[in-house]
Structure 1
Amino acid sequence: MTDTTKEPLLKVEHLSKEFPAESGMIAGRFSKRVVSAVKDISFEIYPGETFGLVGESGCGKSTTGRSIMRLTNPTAGHVYFEGKDVAQMNSKELKAMRREMQFVFQDPQASLNPRMTIGEIVSEPMVIHGIGTKEERIERVRELLDVVGLNPEHINRYPHEFSGGQRQRIGIARAFALRPKLIICDEPVSALDVSIQAQVLNLLKDLQDHFGTAYLFIAHDLSVVQHISDRVAVMYLGKIVEISDWKTLYTEPHHPYTQSLLSAVPVPDPDVQKTRKRIILPGDPPSPIDPPSGCRFHTRCPIAQAVCSEEQPELREVAPGHFCACHCAAVNPIKETSIEL
């Protein structure tokens, strides 16, 4: 359980990120259009915690992670890491911050330089930050390869000589090279086979127990997030719609979008699975260039009211530590009468 009596390691306040889109004539006037990828989101991550961020493709999860790391500059809002605003840091301060905050990318093949050996890849962060002598770095790389389950004798091999799961282990070893306090994991297992996913998730959990590292774990698969997260935030079209500890979120979802996502997660008990009713949402997610007024989910919500299209719901506390942005927030708000079979 997360100890919220401590100071948060990472604090995100009203973060927004927009990207320029095609400009054109609208109603006879020239207009610049933007993609609102992330809109006014806030959350906190505490030391040693795993904070899951879930939602369907295109909802802004990866943009959130990249904005936190300043791989892309936020349009508005603040990101405080250990009390310091990342958005206001100069290049020297940013370099020092990145020693404490690292990134594991989604595609292990694209994130590893094919012309570098794995020894050079894993030691590169230590070279950039001037840590140790060459011999000490080599020894540290061997230790890291052993910790992530790779043969230290393969230090001079290249990424193409490894499988997808092994390449992701190399990426994880690189992320832990500086022993950071926070690692942003951007869908680190989505490109892997299911059996390999479990191995990588167990590895991340073991490394967290050993080093005390906090994770921002980004994923679109709720069943993956369940096994690793302490708390979970659900995103829809650039907005966070619900935040809770994972157990409460899975047993007592208060937002209809969360409930619909959970209805798609299979249950291993066949007797229970055949009695469950799948909630199929109508239509497709709206375009982030022109999001709906009011609640962004109201165009697909089976229980939407008139107020939902007029007023944007606030992310409010509906139970201790449980936050939801919905005018109709309740435990499992979509009743069977609202489900189209």
Structure 2
Amino acid sequence: MADNNERTPLLKVEHLSKEFPAESGMFAKRFSKRVVSAVNDISFEIYPGETFGLVGESGCGKSTTGRTIMRLTKPTAGKVFFQGKDVAEMSKHEIKDMRREMQFIFQDPYASLNPRMTIGEIVSEPMTIHGVGTKEERIERVRELLDVVGLNPEHINRYPHEFSGGQRQRVGIARAFALKPKLIICDEPVSALDVSIQAQVLNLLKELQDKFGTAYLFIAHDLSVVQHISDRVAVMYLGKMVEVSDWKTLYSEPHHPYTQSLLSAVPVPDPDIQKTRKRIILAGDPPSPLDPPTGCRFHTRCPIAQGICSEKLPEFKEVAPGHCCACHFAEPFPIKESHIDL
């Protein structure tokens, strides 16, 4: 891959924030702040043909980030530029054109396919909406796509319930590639699948990327999954981005204690190494996004937190070339063995 500094980003996200109102029910009575801060001031870029992994615990704002980029929901603050154009300023016609270049693969292959439509109708639907080709040309394109994703083109008239979960996700992937997009947002595309099927789908996504040069925003909660497909990885915690780096550096030298704790949970195939590893167990549960902690949002669970962590928000800054981190005590493997409660 060419140096990112010499390339123009396909997608550029600047200080993106998304809040949801909490005006009724028990949350409105319990908390004075009447909004849920799902995404808070995050910035990143994705370059043509690369895979940008976005990882974190459930509820940290990963999926909201993807939906906001796609303009399925409007941002509260910040900007999203796709191919140099501000998504928030686009007209309805421009958004339709943008979505021809930016597609979505959903998490649940059972819920994302219309049970009343045949596989052929599902895959050809984006082409029908955007008026691409004649009916015969669309049918031929569907057959090609089914073959590319490893399904039998002769099954074009079958319905989703006749397929397994992994096969349904292949249908979803075929639909996403129907318009030859430049960017696909993959929202946990393998989390609902068996582990044996996950590897097949990940390999398929990589093969299609090599073939078509498509860029991915790959959203996941499993660092071991992201490792196999991403060029760069960003880690989120409670709506904030805490660390970004190329995947090799992130895995070999995590600078944020949250990243280090996540990596400690990733199993190693060598039983001798796995036996000697120290698992970092974080105390408590993630705070509510309705009432996030002051200062660093991670300080309530951080083994190395000090006074400044609860008082001052750490700056998201470069700690090494291409490696950014938001921690007052950022260094390689900041949690030492003496900090771990064995």
TM-score range for the pair, normalised by the shorter chain length: over 0.9
Q: Please tell me whether the aligned partners of residues 23 and 31 of structure 1 are also in contact (alpha carbons under 8 angstroms).
A: no
Within-5 A mapping of 1:169-248: 169-248=170-249
Structure 1 stretches lacking a partner, 5+ long: none
Among the aligned pairs, what percent are the same residue? 86
1:87 positional shift: 1.0
1:113 positional shift: 0.5
1:31 positional shift: 5.2
Are positions 1:300 and 2:301 aligned together? yes
Partner SS for 1:189: coil
- Which residue in 2 is equivalent to 1:7? 8
- Which residue in 2 is equivalent to 1:135? 136
Partner SS for 1:197: helix
Q: Please tell me whether the aligned partners of residues 11 and 45 of structure 1 are also in contact (alpha carbons under 8 angstroms).
A: yes
The 1:40–1:2 alpha-carbon spacing in structure 2 relative to 1, beyond 3 Å, is: farther
- Which residue in 2 is equivalent to 1:264? 265
- Which residue in 1 is equivalent to 2:78? 77
CA distance in 2 between counterparts of 1:316 and 1:274 reads: 35
Partner SS for 1:35: strand
Within-5 A mapping of 1:107-126: 107-126=108-127
Are positions 1:102 and 2:121 aligned together? no
The two structures have a TM-score, normalised by structure 2, of 0.97
CA distance in 2 between counterparts of 1:67 and 1:160 reads: 31
Partner SS for 1:51: strand
Q: Please tell me whether the aligned partners of residues 3 and 46 of structure 1 are also in contact (alpha carbons under 8 angstroms).
A: no
CA distance in 1 between counterparts of 2:48 and 2:276 reads: 40
CA distance in 2 between counterparts of 1:173 and 1:288 reads: 36
1:160 positional shift: 0.5
Q: Any idea what the Cα deviations from partners look like across 1:195-216, whole Å, max 9, x if unmatched? A: 1000000000000000000000
- Which residue in 1 is equivalent to 2:50? 49
CA distance in 2 between counterparts of 1:146 and 1:292 reads: 50
Paired residue type of 1:228: I
Q: Any idea what the Cα deviations from partners look like across 1:215-266, whole Å, max 9, x if unmatched? A: 0000000000000000000000000000000000000000000000000000
Partner SS for 2:43: strand
Structure 2 stretches lacking a partner, 5+ long: none
CA distance in 2 between counterparts of 1:194 and 1:281 reads: 25
- Which residue in 2 is equivalent to 1:322? 323
CA distance in 1 between counterparts of 2:289 and 2:149 reads: 39
- Which residue in 2 is equivalent to 1:164? 165
Q: Any idea what the Cα deviations from partners look like across 1:22-45, whole Å, max 9, x if unmatched? A: 45899x9x9560000000000000
- Which residue in 2 is equivalent to 1:253? 254
Q: Any idea what the Cα deviations from partners look like across 1:41-74, whole Å, max 9, x if unmatched? A: 0000000000000001000000000000011111
Paired residue type of 1:241: V
Are positions 1:287 and 2:288 aligned together? yes
Q: Please tell me whether the aligned partners of residues 15 and 79 of structure 1 are also in contact (alpha carbons under 8 angstroms).
A: yes
CA distance in 2 between counterparts of 1:111 and 1:204 reads: 18
CA distance in 2 between counterparts of 1:90 and 1:305 reads: 48
1:20 positional shift: 0.8
CA distance in 2 between counterparts of 1:169 and 1:80 reads: 29
CA distance in 1 between counterparts of 2:158 and 2:247 reads: 40
CA distance in 2 between counterparts of 1:119 and 1:265 reads: 39
Paired residue type of 1:267: V
Paired residue type of 1:293: T
1:334 positional shift: 0.2
Q: Please tell me whether the aligned partners of residues 23 and 32 of structure 1 are also in contact (alpha carbons under 8 angstroms).
A: no
1:314 positional shift: 1.1
Q: Please tell me whether the aligned partners of residues 16 and 43 of structure 2 are also in contact (alpha carbons under 8 angstroms).
A: yes
Q: Please tell me whether the aligned partners of residues 24 and 31 of structure 1 are also in contact (alpha carbons under 8 angstroms).
A: no
1:79 positional shift: 0.3
Paired residue type of 2:241: I
Partner SS for 2:276: coil
Partner SS for 2:144: helix
CA distance in 2 between counterparts of 1:34 and 1:253 reads: 32
CA distance in 2 between counterparts of 1:133 and 1:324 reads: 50
CA distance in 2 between counterparts of 1:73 and 1:32 reads: 20
Paired residue type of 1:61: K
CA distance in 2 between counterparts of 1:13 and 1:327 reads: 22
CA distance in 2 between counterparts of 1:44 and 1:18 reads: 22
